């Protein structure tokens, strides 16, 4: 009933807009109401809470110099084959907060043949999300939704409703075309990023996704929790340019021969993903083998630690959020084996999925007691809004989402709350990571 009402309302708006073409804005007279429906592309970017469609780029028949956000209305629908999307997030209006003249990729121009509309997004606005987390074939995961828009220019009644693709500003910098074949036909998809014009051999950042980002489409692993940000200029500059490798598990990293493991039983992927890493390094001679860093969140945090346990001499350091490896399944001998590997853990006290008292806190203490000199734990009371847009410290995300502090490079304290000091000054997690190098 709600969808039917919205459809009738929107149809009425279309009739109203079409009947008022005489009110066309002088600066947008080229947007002709008599032309056929126009084409559009939407823009999706990663945010702390996940991917959101934050812009839509409209194709014009002529060039314009000015535009106004007040002259547009946007209606969106989200659907996913095989899944039921709740009515409140299946369709609705999108708020336009800004508009500007641009090129076909949304880059601002003084005069051009495209209009870019900036759309409101927030962690409590599911109508803006490009993904839907759902269970299909008995496995919970994130999936791209079929996202459709109808955009109306309210002064002329001109409509755009023909989608021609999407723009992913950070993700589009990655190579998404390759897969790695391991034994017995096991194929791993992966995304990779190569730095432009590094001054010397460059480090490699490896990111292993969480449990909801498996499959054979690495864009899911890059956008599911903003991992594409490791290719951002803000982080790249700290490393003098770095390669980024984001492998994707066909299912989830903690899959065992039967069910899911938290470390007691072997998983089915660690040998394959390590072989992928070695293969990628061998094919990219610009990588510094003394500066290979592995990190991940939740499921990927499990796999990061598993790789460290299996290959402690290979990695220069680790950066792990929401560790899912149970401390009880790590022996004292293994602690001794990995105590000299620099590791920075991030976790929240209210994480109910990977409970810190069962995972990272006892492991951190055991490593310290074993003599680890370079192990850090940023331990938060809650995972909060680091942007300040949605309430700051008063806004709380799911306690499991501590990877936010890694992707945004804001983790900077140890377990006791003291700042992490390197070479006499306080540093963030990525500044610390960039300084780690195997002897």
Please report, in tens digits, the pLDDT of each residue of the chain (439 residues total).
Answer: 444 444 444 444 444 444 333 333 434 444 554 468 999 999 999 999 999 999 999 999 999 999 999 999 999 999 999 888 999 899 999 999 999 999 999 999 999 999 999 999 999 999 999 999 998 877 889 999 999 999 999 999 999 999 999 999 999 999 999 999 998 789 999 999 999 887 789 999 999 999 999 999 999 999 998 999 999 999 999 999 999 999 999 999 999 999 999 999 999 999 999 999 999 999 999 999 999 999 999 999 999 999 999 999 999 999 999 999 999 999 999 999 999 999 999 999 999 999 999 999 999 999 999 999 999 999 999 999 999 999 999 999 999 999 999 999 999 999 999 999 999 999 999 999 999 999 8
CB-count burial class (<10 Å; 0-12, 13-18, 19+) for 293: buried
User: What backbone phi and psi angles, to 5 degrees, belong to 357?
Assistant: -70, -10
Would you call 253 exposed, middle or buried from its count of C-beta atoms within 10 A (0-12, 13-18, 19+)?
buried
In whole angstroms, give the CA distance from residue 216 to residue 416: 41
For the record, the structure tokens of 249 come out as 């598990």
* Tens-place pLDDT, residues 319-355: 999 999 999 999 999 999 999 999 999 999 999 999 9
pLDDT of residue 35: 63
Residue listed under structure tokens 């680091």: 386
Please state, as a whole number, how many other Cβ atoms lie within 10 Å of the Cβ of residue 243: 25
Identify the pLDDT of residue 19: 38
pLDDT value at residue 198: 75
Q: Which domains does the chain have, with CATH numbers?
A: 2-167 (2.60.40.2180), 171-434 (3.40.50.1820)
CB within 8 Å of 6: residues ≥ 6 apart:
75, 91, 92
């Amino acid at each position: 009933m709600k969808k039917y009402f919205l459809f009738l309302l929107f149809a009425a708006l279309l009739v109203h807009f079409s009947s008022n073409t005489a009110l066309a804005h002088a600066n947008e007279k080229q947007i002709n109401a008599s032309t056929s429906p126009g084409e559009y592309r939407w823009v999706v970017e990663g945010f702390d809470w996940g991917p959101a469609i934050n812009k839509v780029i409209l194709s014009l028949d002529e060039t314009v110099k000015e535009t106004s956000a007040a002259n547009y209305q946007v209606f969106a629908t989200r659907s996913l084959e095989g899944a039921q999307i709740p009515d409140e997030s299946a369709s609705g209006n999108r708020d336009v907060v800004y508009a500007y003249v641009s090129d076909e990729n949304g880059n601002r121009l003084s005069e051009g043949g495209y209009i870019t509309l900036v759309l409101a997004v927030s962690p409590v606005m599911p109508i803006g999300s490009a993904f839907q987390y759902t269970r299909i074939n008995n496995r919970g995961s994130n999936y791209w939704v079929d996202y459709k828009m109808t955009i109306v220019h309210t002064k002329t009644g001109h409509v755009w409703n023909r989608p021609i693709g999407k723009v992913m500003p950070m993700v589009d910098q990655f190579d998404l075309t390759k897969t790695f074949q391991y034994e017995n036909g096991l194929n791993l998809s992966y995304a990779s990023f190569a730095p432009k014009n590094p001054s010397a051999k460059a480090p490699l950042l490896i990111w292993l996704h969480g449990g909801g980002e498996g499959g054979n489409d690495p864009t899911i692993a890059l956008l599911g929790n903003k991992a594409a940000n490791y290719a951002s200029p803000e982080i790249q500059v700290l490393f003098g340019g770095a390669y980024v490798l984001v492998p994707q598990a066909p299912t989830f990293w903690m899959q065992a021969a039967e069910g899911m493991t938290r470390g007691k039983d072997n998983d089915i992927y660690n040998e394959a993903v390590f072989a992928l890493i070695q293969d990628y390094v061998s094919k990219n001679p610009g990588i510094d083998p003394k500066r290979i860093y592995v990190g991940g969140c939740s499921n990927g945090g499990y796999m990061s630690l598993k790789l460290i346990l299996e290959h402690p001499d290979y990695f220069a350091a680790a950066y792990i959020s929401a560790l899912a490896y149970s401390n009880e399944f790590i022996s004292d001998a293994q602690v001794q084996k990995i105590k000299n590997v620099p590791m920075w853990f991030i976790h929240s006290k209210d994480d109910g999925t990977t409970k810190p008292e069962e995972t990272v806190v006892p492991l951190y203490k055991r490593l310290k007691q074993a003599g680890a000199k370079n192990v850090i734990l940023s331990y938060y009371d809650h995972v909060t809004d680091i942007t300040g847009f949605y309430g700051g410290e008063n806004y709380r995300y799911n306690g499991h989402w501590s990877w936010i502090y890694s992707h945004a490079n804001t983790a900077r304290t140890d377990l006791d709350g003291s700042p992490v000091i390197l070479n006499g000054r306080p540093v963030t997690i990525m500044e610390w990571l960039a300084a780690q190098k195997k002897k």
